[in-house]
Structure 1
């Protein structure tokens, strides 16, 4: 039985190696790999096992991409804080109109209409 376990370890696929793990790839490489997987799965001509394998890898890549984007967002927010720690977000069309948010994030009521404002 020990021989079988050794044989199983020796047959490890190259795709299972740590070098190709999504966490070792930059965002752009991970996103390109994810897009390729989506195209392959959308063709619909793969065997079930191959489709499941690609889907699992796609989920891992998607999570890595989301982590990278969240990290980038946190870094940008740090850069956009003023001297008093308020988050200052500028309007791309008009830099003179910056929106300030107190605390660590946006207000819960942001984007909601005023009580006496007509919705329709």
Structure 2
């Protein structure tokens, strides 16, 4: 089994690769060993995507000025 970690790519690149992996696995014509490696790669990519989305969620904040002129972070809804 390969212990390859996916390179840190953009979210879109990771999603594209995940779609490609799903297509290959659904095809059902690849050997079991390759399928397991693809599955492992897919899980790693999925975790990386989740981390990127969580980081983006934390960054999506709106600065607002309070009555006393201080800037505050406010979650966007």
Category of TM-score, reference length = shorter chain = 0.7 to 0.9
Instruction: Verify: 1:34 aligned to 2:18, yes or no.
Output: yes
Instruction: Verify: 1:82 aligned to 2:64, yes or no.
Output: yes
Partner of 1:51: 35
Q: Which structure shows the higher strand fraction? A: 2
Greater relative contact order (CA < 8 Å, ≥ 6 in sequence): 2
1:67 to 48, 51, 57: 51
Distance in 1 (alpha carbons) for counterparts of 2:46 and 2:21:
11
Q: Unaligned 5+ residue runs, structure 2?
A: 66-71
Q: TM-score, normalised by structure 1?
A: 0.50
Q: Residues 23 and 64 of structure 1 are in contact (CA less than 8 Å); yes or no, is this contact kept in structure 2?
A: no
Distance in 1 (alpha carbons) for counterparts of 2:11 and 2:35:
23
Deviating beyond 6 angstroms after TM superposition, the runs of 4 or more aligned structure 1 residues are none
Structure with max Cα Rg? 1
CA-based RMSD: 2.2
